[in-house]
Chains A and B, each alone.
Chain A
């Protein structure tokens, strides 16, 4: 018997075969799309509620340059003095009339050992202890310059970032040391920020990149933009994104230091650089005044809002304020570029963000027109 296939039958078989292959392929994305909902733990935690401290409720008017948390106390540095908040209210505003050395407060560091508060101002350095101020200026002490941008503790030493280099004060002996272009690789003397670890001290230098001081070896290592003075990024992640660095922070959890610049955000984990620009990330602005990092998160204080990066999921969350309505907006940018917007009744005091600090899971945000307290919220359903 000759086996011959009817043409129609062949077509039918082929059609069936094709369908049995194609159909699963067509269904597969849907199956993927219909995967079980992600674990709640992977959902970003949003700050849905904000309490603002402005001129309207006893807070000094003007910019808030820095904020530091000390247990239940919150210290804020403003253009009109040093503010102490406790139990949710302004407890005291210190000005030069109270003995503060300068009105514009740029940085605050609390000595956790003895409770002393060191205050960097544009008029020198103040020590607030036991209710009294003791002041240090360029003329009356070894302070390099009265424009003090940053202060930080390392054991018994106080590091001070000034417009003319960096000081280290031995608080036991009263000895001042100066580090500047004469004895360290400072391309520019303007030291803006400090971050201290057990082994190193990192300095943010405006126009000079990042400088790392090894405490044991007493050596310096600079990190600068390989593109030099060019305002471009030739190759992504080849180095510090820009030399105009406004602040630096070291995250011991991820062993990464982060640098905020006026032209983007940079992170270095010891092997690789991780750079971010607005054009291809959820960063609100390349003009970043400060950066903080803890856990997997990086917080960038930008001129256009507060941006949080979850480095694990590469998700960006930016908080901003609608200046007309006063309501808040949260923009979530996922790794795949998709965006999601969430509206909130309350918001940051202003979009120009200068710095942040954490009090447990809450966040305090220094803005150009007041201090904002972000209340930690539950995960979004």
Chain B
């Protein structure tokens, strides 16, 4: 090889190396740029939680089996979907998107239509159960939850919680034919086995004097007349939930879970059901065609044991032969299995006096409850298969389904519905809200007194008072309370952490209560509770003439005769619209009674006022009108004595829109 050749080869080699080096350099630079442009990884949840708004859990709340039992339809309220589970493979095989906040489901008698209630849409969605196609949406009343068709499949009955009524829908035309007045917050319905009646369970007790025991109502609708023919008194209880009817061979009883409060007693002793107990109403229906209330026999039995409670009964179902009944305890993650033959024996062998005693006996459940099985968190609805072999339970806070083997009466499987696995702060708080395990003997959860995710039970309670029987105060809702501190009617709790932390532990749960991180999660959840759409306010926010006049009255600073109104007597002074219509002060409005040790009370927010009866600190004003017609004789609660009836009506119409 000559020098020239060697030099050329050397130069070629250098060029190649340069090119290779350039390429490598370019690759490195490209990699650096790529890495730099990648989004920063999310920090650990414990330190910087991801936004909860983007995490949609499923929260299964209602179940429906197909007639052949091959499909289980699952209503998921927090994700606005209905999932379909193949019961053989126990896999989710389909999904349908429905309206806002679906709560209930039913299937037509021929199995060809599914109906889902969309609580926040005031509508019912009809779905093809095979294709999951949405066929139509039917407008109903306010806040629909429970629904059922008649035996012919031509009429749909829908319980409207906020409206306090039942929509009767003609299915062929998809239109509402009429509305029937129900009780207070009607929630779940069931068609009687003979198809002659629809029973409606109302969540809240009737409005009544705060110093009297509550009385709940089971509304009975005659399907032939499509009219309410009876309103049964279920005394001393509230939160009637799902209804199941035993077959005739088992006595035809209706079983309905309830909560029995001891709110008239000062809450000083919690053990052995000292604050409240949980049980079920056992109702033998009327056999007469007239079906008047007096023809029904109503008994009440407790499901709690003497040393442990099974909080917040929710779902109820029966095996096809009627031998077993199942009742979920949504606060205790338990399902109680009832031997109905023992139940029937107990009732038949009891005198009427004895049956009354049974309503408060904590030693009776073991006579008819044979098994208590664990479920997932917050079990809600329960259904049984047509062959009686299986039962399915919706675990709302776990996004799962518990499958029970009813032959063995043991848990058989848990179906994962595929919800998000990582728990957000709000989700953890939501789980705690429904969990009674932090309370002594598992007696109650937050949801026990604040059912339906933050509503008030509407009762006055005698809580942690230095003087027994004094300072009885009305329960309050939890919607949109962020920014309305202090809390408690005496205004002594500066924040919700104090309310849910030491106060709850010491006076309500009588236990260690929640840990500090749990309190933080719980507060996060409670603050996330928002008022839903207010049906009294038009969707576009436009006020009616009456509401406009009421708005003017609320903000007036002169009387009808033109005299100036003292700022202390003007509504916005204490109910500032800038801070959720509460100025967050304590003030004497002349409503203290001889049983109160204080005269100044924390100003409640007015948002959602229409959902909060009764009113005033002690619940004495059953209707909003009474705040001023009966309890404001000296104009200390605003200057209202110069107003005429029309003006008061207008003011109330405005307040209902908040």
Please, could you name 28 A-B residue pairs with CB atoms under 8 Å apart, sorted by A?
A113-B178, A115-B228, A127-B181, A130-B220, A130-B228, A130-B229, A130-B230, A130-B231, A131-B231, A131-B292, A138-B645, A139-B626, A140-B622, A140-B625, A142-B625, A142-B648, A142-B649, A142-B652, A145-B645, A156-B179, A164-B645, A172-B163, A172-B165, A172-B179, A178-B645, A178-B646, A182-B644, A182-B646
Whether B225 sits at the interface, judged by CB under 8 Å, is yes
Q: Are B646 and A129 in contact (CB under 8 A)?
A: no
Q: Are B653 and A175 in contact (CB under 8 A)?
A: yes
Within 8 A of A (CB), among B174-214: 177-181
Tell me which residues across on chain B come within 8 A of A172, comparing CB atoms.
141, 163, 165, 179
Whether B594 sits at the interface, judged by CB under 8 Å, is no
Whether B330 sits at the interface, judged by CB under 8 Å, is no
Most chain A CB within a 10 A radius of its CB, from B231, B292, B535? B231
Q: Which residue of A lies closest to B646 (CB)?
A: A178
Pick the residue among B163, B228, B622, B649 that contacts A114 (CB under 8 A).
B228
Tell me which residues across on chain B come within 8 A of A175, comparing CB atoms.
546, 653
Question: Which A-B residue pairs are the 10 nearest by beta carbons?
Answer: A115-B227, A130-B228, A130-B231, A139-B629, A113-B178, A142-B649, A178-B646, A132-B231, A140-B623, A131-B293
Most chain B CB within a 10 A radius of its CB, from A130, A131, A171, A175? A130
Q: Are B649 and A178 in contact (CB under 8 A)?
A: yes
Q: Given A114-B181, A114-B226, A142-B625, list of 7 further CB < 8 A pairs?
A: A113-B178, A127-B181, A129-B231, A130-B231, A173-B536, A176-B649, A183-B646
A119–chain B nearest beta-carbon distance, Å: 15
Q: Which residue of B lies closest to A180 (CB)?
A: B646
Pick the residue among B163, B178, B180, B625 that contacts A141 (CB under 8 A).
B625
Whether A357 sits at the interface, judged by CB under 8 Å, is no
Q: Are B227 and A114 in contact (CB under 8 A)?
A: yes
Tell me which residues across on chain A come within 8 A of B292, comparing CB atoms.
131
CB 8 Å contact bits of A207-234 with B (1 = contact, 0 = none): 0000000000000000000000000000
Tell me which residues across on chain B come within 8 A of A116, comparing CB atoms.
181, 228
A147–chain B nearest beta-carbon distance, Å: 13
Whether B618 sits at the interface, judged by CB under 8 Å, is no
Q: Which residue of B lies closest to A172 (CB)?
A: B179
A80–chain B nearest beta-carbon distance, Å: 23
Within 8 A of B (CB), among A165-188: 171-173, 175-178, 180, 182-183
Give the distance in Å from the alpha carbon of A180 to the alpha carbon of B644 in the complex. 11
CB 8 Å contact bits of A103-134 with B (1 = contact, 0 = none): 00000000001111000000000010111101
Give the distance in Å from the alpha carbon of A177 to the alpha carbon of B652 in the complex. 11
Whether B64 sits at the interface, judged by CB under 8 Å, is no
Give the distance in Å from the alpha carbon of A113 to the alpha carbon of B230 in the complex. 16
Number of interface residues of A (CB under 8 A): 29
Q: Which residue of A lies closest to B165 (CB)?
A: A172
Within 8 A of B (CB), among A291-330: none
Q: Are B141 and A144 in contact (CB under 8 A)?
A: no
Give the distance in Å from the alpha carbon of A182 to the alpha carbon of B623 in the complex. 25
Known A114-B178, A114-B180, A131-B231: A177·B625 in contact at CB below 8 Å: no
Within 8 A of B (CB), among A138-162: 138-142, 144-145, 156
CB 8 Å contact bits of B417-449 with A (1 = contact, 0 = none): 000000000000000000000000000000000
Q: Which residue of A lies closest to B292 (CB)?
A: A131
Q: Are A129 and B645 in contact (CB under 8 A)?
A: no
Most chain B CB within a 10 A radius of its CB, from A132, A141, A171, A175? A132
Known A115-B225, A115-B228, A130-B219: A141·B623 in contact at CB below 8 Å: yes
CB 8 Å contact bits of A249-263 with B (1 = contact, 0 = none): 000000000000000
Give the distance in Å from the alpha carbon of A156 to the alpha carbon of B630 in the complex. 30
Tell me which residues across on chain B come within 8 A of A132, comparing CB atoms.
231
Q: Are B630 and A139 in contact (CB under 8 A)?
A: yes
Tell me which residues across on chain B come within 8 A of A134, comparing CB atoms.
181
Tell me which residues across on chain A come within 8 A of B228, comparing CB atoms.
114-116, 129-130
Q: Are A140 and B546 in contact (CB under 8 A)?
A: no
B646–chain A nearest beta-carbon distance, Å: 4
Within 8 A of A (CB), among B212-236: 219-220, 225-231
Within 8 A of A (CB), among B295-352: none
B229–chain A nearest beta-carbon distance, Å: 6
Q: Which residue of A lies closest to B160 (CB)?
A: A172
CB 8 Å contact bits of B612-633 with A (1 = contact, 0 = none): 0000000000110110011000
Tell me which residues across on chain B come within 8 A of A130, comparing CB atoms.
219-220, 228-231, 293
Give the distance in Å from the alpha carbon of A134 to the alpha carbon of B182 in the complex. 11
Give the distance in Å from the alpha carbon of A172 to the alpha carbon of B228 in the complex. 16
Q: Which residue of B lies closest to A136 (CB)?
A: B623
Tell me which residues across on chain B come within 8 A of A173, comparing CB atoms.
535-536
CB 8 Å contact bits of B118-146 with A (1 = contact, 0 = none): 00000000000000000000000100000
Tell me which residues across on chain A come within 8 A of B165, comparing CB atoms.
172
Tell me which residues across on chain B come within 8 A of A139, comparing CB atoms.
625-626, 629-630
Q: Are A171 and B179 in contact (CB under 8 A)?
A: yes
Pick the residue among B179, B229, B293, B629 that contacts A140 (CB under 8 A).
B629
A369–chain B nearest beta-carbon distance, Å: 31
Tell me which residues across on chain A come within 8 A of B141, comparing CB atoms.
172
Give the distance in Å from the alpha carbon of A171 to the alpha carbon of B178 in the complex. 11
B137–chain A nearest beta-carbon distance, Å: 19
Tell me which residues across on chain A come within 8 A of B653, comparing CB atoms.
175
Most chain A CB within a 10 A radius of its CB, from B180, B226, B292, B626? B180
Q: Are B536 and A129 in contact (CB under 8 A)?
A: no
Give the distance in Å from the alpha carbon of A344 to the alpha carbon of B580 in the complex. 74
Q: Which residue of B lies closest to A144 (CB)?
A: B645
Q: Which residue of A lies closest to B219 (CB)?
A: A130
Tell me which residues across on chain B come within 8 A of A140, comparing CB atoms.
622-623, 625-626, 629
A141–chain B nearest beta-carbon distance, Å: 6
Give the distance in Å from the alpha carbon of A182 to the alpha carbon of B181 in the complex. 32
Tell me which residues across on chain B come within 8 A of A145, comparing CB atoms.
645
Known A114-B180, A129-B231: A177·B546 in contact at CB below 8 Å: yes
A250–chain B nearest beta-carbon distance, Å: 24
Tell me which residues across on chain B come within 8 A of A177, comparing CB atoms.
546, 649
A33–chain B nearest beta-carbon distance, Å: 58
A317–chain B nearest beta-carbon distance, Å: 38
Give the distance in Å from the alpha carbon of A164 to the alpha carbon of B181 in the complex. 27
Tell me which residues across on chain A come within 8 A of B220, comparing CB atoms.
130
Give the distance in Å from the alpha carbon of A132 to the alpha carbon of B644 in the complex. 31
Give the distance in Å from the alpha carbon of A156 to the alpha carbon of B535 in the complex. 17
Tell me which residues across on chain A come within 8 A of B648, comparing CB atoms.
142
Give the distance in Å from the alpha carbon of A323 to the alpha carbon of B648 in the complex. 50
CB 8 Å contact bits of B150-172 with A (1 = contact, 0 = none): 00000000000001010000000
Tell me which residues across on chain B come within 8 A of A138, comparing CB atoms.
629, 645
Give the distance in Å from the alpha carbon of A130 to the alpha carbon of B181 in the complex. 9
Give the distance in Å from the alpha carbon of A127 to the alpha carbon of B164 in the complex. 15
Tell me which residues across on chain A come within 8 A of B546, comparing CB atoms.
175, 177
A60–chain B nearest beta-carbon distance, Å: 22
Tell me which residues across on chain B come within 8 A of A164, comparing CB atoms.
645
Tell me which residues across on chain A come within 8 A of B181, comparing CB atoms.
114, 116, 127, 129, 134, 171
Give the distance in Å from the alpha carbon of A348 to the alpha carbon of B231 in the complex. 38
CB 8 Å contact bits of A322-362 with B (1 = contact, 0 = none): 00000000000000000000000000000000000000000
Within 8 A of B (CB), among A240-294: none
B451–chain A nearest beta-carbon distance, Å: 22
CB 8 Å contact bits of B439-481 with A (1 = contact, 0 = none): 0000000000000000000000000000000000000000000
Give the distance in Å from the alpha carbon of A145 to the alpha carbon of B648 in the complex. 13
Tell me which residues across on chain A come within 8 A of B227, comparing CB atoms.
114-115
Within 8 A of A (CB), among B578-617: none
Q: Which residue of A lies closest to B168 (CB)?
A: A114
Give the distance in Å from the alpha carbon of A142 to the alpha carbon of B647 in the complex. 10
Give the distance in Å from the alpha carbon of A123 to the alpha carbon of B394 in the complex. 50
Q: Which residue of A lies closest to B621 (CB)?
A: A140
Within 8 A of A (CB), among B254-293: 292-293
A1–chain B nearest beta-carbon distance, Å: 103
B555–chain A nearest beta-carbon distance, Å: 20
Give the distance in Å from the alpha carbon of A177 to the alpha carbon of B645 in the complex. 10
